[in-house]
Structure formats: structure tokens, C-alpha cells
Amino acid sequence: MTVRGGDPGDTTTVLAEQDWVSALIRHWRDDPAGTYRTWFLWEERIKNFRSIRRGIQAVIKEIETDTFGNAFRGSSLETVLDSISEQRQVFKGADHAFMWKPKLRIPDIYENRQNQIAFGRFLDTCLCCNSEAQIVAAIHRLDQVGIKGLGPAVANLMYFLHPTIAPPFNTAIVNGFNAVRGATVKLGRWTEYLAMRDGILELNRTHQNLLSNDLGAVAAFLFDVGSKRYPIPSRDGAADLSGWRTDLERVREQSAAAAKAEAAAREADHTHTEVQGWLRDLGFALGFDVWVAANDGARRYRDGRLGEGCLERLPDRIASAPSADAIRLIDVIWIDRSGGEFVAAFEVEHTTSIYSGIVRMLDLALGIDGASARNFFLVAPDDRQDDVRAQFARPAFSKVSDLDLRYLPYSELRSHKDAIARFGSGLKGVLAIARPIAPALGPATRPRPNSAS
């Protein structure tokens, strides 16, 4: 605490900046509707890092081979940005800066081949290097090219490659930073981003016990402040701190009420864990060993844990695959008990990016000999069918044409799982209720040699 005022009998007690920021961060961490709980602690957030990284690799490769194209729509970059934009409210609108604006002819990476190459080299450098100095040097090189319309919004791609080095960047985060630090950072220039980054790193070090080495935490905090979710005390040294705390408490109460209403709405739907539980129990009933995602096994399900009775480690042939780290995150895998071969893989896409689930199953299909002929299912709410089909219409998914991927609606699984468990054999019952995602892909429409397995 600091005490200010010329008259000792008439002092004004105010909170030093470090103290009021600490108080605000603690409030943010406890806020049930704040981004700390709704996004930063969201388990699916971590899963998406690998899929976004794979998507950026695809963008780099297309630029290198001059197959990137001259439009944002339908490009591999659009697929990546869609996946980022689905990262809850923090990244909403992250794709806007990359959408082609024909009147302004920006961002100029679709018509100018040299600018496109510079952008691809920048992404490749960020993908391959690991040091802060290399990342900052790459930013300076990109800034020197002066690509029209391509500014610090690229930092949102960098964050998913280097979350401890590059903080995300958008209007709300900038506004939050300016409010907390009394700064005047402006949008649109890399020099402003780098200056803000230095300030964010300092803020993160000062409050490291409340934040994280992952800069997503401090960025999410600034996002909420910049969105005017929380009031900021006056900087003139005469703020009414008791009134400020009262305002914070009012926000907390409003958040608690909103969180309660949201929980009630979710209760009417099936949760991600519940659907995993259906698939786990159905796999057991059909005589398979079952693997559930490595980071999901400890989740509570019914009167126990989701991972109870499931494999504690993948069979050696799968565990030794180059992409084993990604395979371990697939929601549910059924494995033949006699030979240790995987029979079917399921990704439950309750509200998350369909793209990330596809990438994990591709890792399984392409990482093990003969695996692409197996069975792959996207399990999703009935109202996401159009979303699933739209994703597969994109050129970015052209390489999965040999993957027999099927859509399994919640309603079909819920209605028939008990009958399949009681009377079914192998995968026949599941295949009967699943739907081909895109008949034009080929394998999903042809008789399948393993359909009776």
C-alpha cells in the first residue's frame, strides 16, 4: 500500500499498481465466466495446438510448391484460421485480418508472389526455431518487407507455435494492456506489437505466481479487461478503492448467475465426457480393449473415472508410431484384444474444431502401416452434420480421400447403443448407424473389406 497526501491527518490511501493488478488478476481467476476458467483451463485448448501446427505446415508447403492459390476462401490458411477462431471468445474474429479485401487488395499475399514467399518463409522460421531472439529477428525481417495489410494479427499464428514467446494480438488485448499499464499502444504496426510484448512479459514476470509461463493466460486477462468486463481504478491516486471492489463483486455475482444459466443449458445436452463414456462401454460390450484420450481418463464419469477398465498404455505398435503423442489424444480407440491392432477410432466433436479431430485421426492412419483401411468416426451432435460436410468440401482435406471417415450422430448412438451392445457383433451395428461424410470421397461408398470385423 502507498500513502499519499501532504497533510498527515488527511491522507489518501490508494493501492499501488502492482497491488491492484494482483487483486484484479485474482478476481479474474475466480470469475466463473472469465476467460481463465472458460478458455485458459479448457482442456480442448491444449489439444488444438498440434492440429493448428499441422495446418501451418500445410500452408508453408503450399506456398513453397506454389499451390497456395490466390484466395483466402478454400485455402489451407482459412482452415487454420477457422480452427483458431473457434478457440472460444479470445480468438473470435482472428480470421478477419486474413480475408481478401478486393477493393483494398489486402492482405497482399494472394496476388503478390514475392510477398507470399516472404510470408511462407516467416512461418517456416517460426515453425523451426525455438529461441526468442530468432522469433523477434523473423518479425523484423517480415516488417521490413512491408506487406500491405499483413500486420501483427499474424501473432495469433505465432502464439500457437510459441506460446511462451509470442502473445496473441487483437483489439481487446491491446485495449486491456493500455488500461492496465497506462500505455498508448496502437493496432497495425509490428513495432507497436513488440513494444506491447515487452510490457506483457514484464507484467507476466511481476505476477508470475498468478499467471503462467504460457502467455495465453496474461493475454486472456488483458482480453477481459479490454472487453470492459472489469472496471479499472483511477490512476490519479484518489480512486475510491472500496467502490472499485464493490464493482468487482457485482461483476462476480453477474458472472456466477451467467455461469449457472449456462450450466443449466448444457445439462440439457450431452457432454463430451458422456459420449466418450457411451463409446467406452459399447467397446467393452463388443469385446474390445478400449483406450480413452490420455488427458481425459481422470475425468469423472458416473460414479467413477472415465478411464476405469481402459488400457493404461497403447499397444507397442501404436505407441512407437512417430505421431504417438497425437494418437494418445484421440478421444476413444477400440483395440482388438487378441492382436493388439486398433479396430476403430472415434473423435467426439461436441463444440470444438472438427479440424483438430481429423488431424489426430490422420496421424493414426498415416503413422501405422495398414491403418488407413480401418474405421474412423466423427461423433458429433446432429446439428453439426452440415459443418462436418462443409469441412470436407475444402481443398485442405483432399488428402483424406483414402480415409474411411464416417459421421456418427449423437441421436443414433444414443438410440441404438444398448441394442448394439446386447445383440451386435464387431462393428456391424456401429457401421449401420454411421453415415458416409462425403460420397464423392470414394472409399466411404464402396464395399469395405473390414466391414464385418
Alpha-carbon span 276 to 281, nearest angstrom: 9
Q: How many of the other CB atoms lie within 10 Å of CB of 428?
A: 14
| pLDDT computed for residue 209 by the predictor | 95
Task: Write the CA distances from 62 to 33, 50, 57, 357, integer angstroms.
Answer: 40, 19, 9, 22
| pLDDT computed for residue 208 by the predictor | 94
| pLDDT computed for residue 420 by the predictor | 94
* Confidence (pTM): 0.65
Task: Give residue limits of the domains in the chain.
Answer: 2-17+229-267, 35-226, 272-445
| pLDDT computed for residue 85 by the predictor | 87
Alpha-carbon span 94 to 153, nearest angstrom: 7
Residue in the block written with cell 505466481: 209
Note down pLDDT in tens along the chain; length 453 residues. 232 333 333 333 344 556 889 999 999 999 988 999 989 998 778 878 888 998 999 999 999 999 998 888 888 899 899 889 888 789 988 999 999 998 899 999 999 999 999 999 999 999 999 899 999 999 999 999 999 999 999 999 999 999 999 999 999 999 999 999 889 999 889 999 999 999 999 999 999 999 999 999 999 999 999 999 888 887 554 445 555 566 556 655 666 666 565 555 444 345 788 999 999 999 999 999 999 999 889 888 888 899 999 999 999 988 988 888 888 999 999 999 988 888 999 999 876 667 777 778 877 877 777 665 578 898 988 877 777 777 766 666 665 556 778 889 988 999 999 999 998 778 999 999 998 875 443 433 333 434 334
φ, ψ for residue 108, nearest 5 deg: -85, 60
